[in-house]
Amino acid sequence: MLTDYHLHLQPDGAAARAEHAVDWDALGGYLSEGWIRRYADSARARGVHEIAVTEHVHRFAEARDWHSNPWWREEATEDIDAYCDALVSAREAGIPVLVGIEMDWLPDRRDEIAAFLDGRPFDIVLGSVHWLADGAVDHPDYLAWETVDSEQVWSRYFDELVAAAESGLYDVLAHIDLPKVLGHVPSDSARARWPEVVARIAASGVAIECSSAGLRKPAAELYPNPDLLAMCAAAGIAVTLASDAHRPADIAAGYPTAVAALRGVGYDHLTRFAGRRRSLTPIADWA
């Protein structure tokens, strides 16, 4: 089987959503069964038979006060329970979709994150480090790189990634070397931390994703980098497969490269989730 376990139903930012709203409005809205089915159909056409929709937590009004950043607060307009209900209904209608969320790791919001996840019907919770206090590693308007020395960005990023892994809040760590997204190649000292970071992720028991999204960004390579992926495989860390698509056209983008990389470092199974419980499925060949 092939899966795509990191998908967004809309692009980031109000302007991009307004530009594309005609696509989902024609089907009854972005939470309509028709729009969710569009994702599943696009996946199936590419040989992918199970998807997880994992919207950013910053889209939901319940998380608005977790961060002082103005963009975060402007984005927080949606109702988390309406979102979960729509995905549960789609799943019950036979669409092979998991109820997921991309949950930022914000170290001073540990209790709020736990309360948000508790009692909601998630199949899979992705843990993402996008923010180092007020600076983002990937948001072009609020870049940590402009206020913090680049060595510090990498070292603080890995500190937070490990803290997220060890928090016990997450099923899968997303894009584990995200700071490279805009082309900031990891320094020798950043790479020197990889063995320690991998060992601590492995000890935490959390999975990682192999994401093709980096191929579509200035980084121009998978998350994680193939050397880092090899270290994860050697450490026995479970893996999911993901595109981080924000529109149906990008589902499973770059999968030939991702599947080859997984096989090349010795992975022969993907991790599946249901109700936050794991199982394994052999990696299908790219059709």
Contacts to Zn ion by CB under 5 A: 102, 128, 244
The C-alpha atoms of residue 285 and residue 287 are separated, in whole angstroms, by 6
Shortest Å distance, C-beta 136 to Zn ion: 10
Shortest Å distance, C-beta 95 to Zn ion: 20
Tell how far CA 53 is from the center of its chain.
Answer: 10
**Whose CA is closest to 164, among 274, 57, 272?**
57
The C-alpha atoms of residue 226 and residue 215 are separated, in whole angstroms, by 12
Closer Cβ to Zn ion, 50 or 250, answer by number? 250
The C-alpha atoms of residue 62 and residue 206 are separated, in whole angstroms, by 25
Category of 272 on φ-ψ map: left (φ > 0), alpha (ψ -120 to 50) or beta: beta
Closer Cβ to Zn ion, 128 or 240, answer by number? 128
Shortest Å distance, C-beta 234 to Zn ion: 25
The C-alpha atoms of residue 61 and residue 37 are separated, in whole angstroms, by 25
Closer Cβ to Zn ion, 183 or 282, answer by number? 183
Shortest Å distance, C-beta 39 to Zn ion: 14
The C-alpha atoms of residue 153 and residue 142 are separated, in whole angstroms, by 13
Shortest Å distance, C-beta 11 to Zn ion: 11
Shortest Å distance, C-beta 244 to Zn ion: 4
Closer Cβ to Zn ion, 50 or 104, answer by number? 104
- HEC profile for 170-202? CCEECCCCHHHCCCCCCCHHHHHCHHHHHHHHH
DSSP conformation class of 238:
-
Closer Cβ to Zn ion, 5 or 267, answer by number? 5
Shortest Å distance, C-beta 223 to Zn ion: 9
Closer Cβ to Zn ion, 102 or 250, answer by number? 102
Q: β-strand 131-132 against 135-136: which pairing, if any? A: antiparallel
Closer Cβ to Zn ion, 221 or 284, answer by number? 221
Cis check: omega of the bond before 224, within 30 degrees of 0: yes
Closer Cβ to Zn ion, 127 or 186, answer by number? 127
Shortest Å distance, C-beta 56 to Zn ion: 6
Q: How far is CA 77 from CA 23, 72, 113, 171, 277, in A?
A: 20, 10, 18, 25, 30
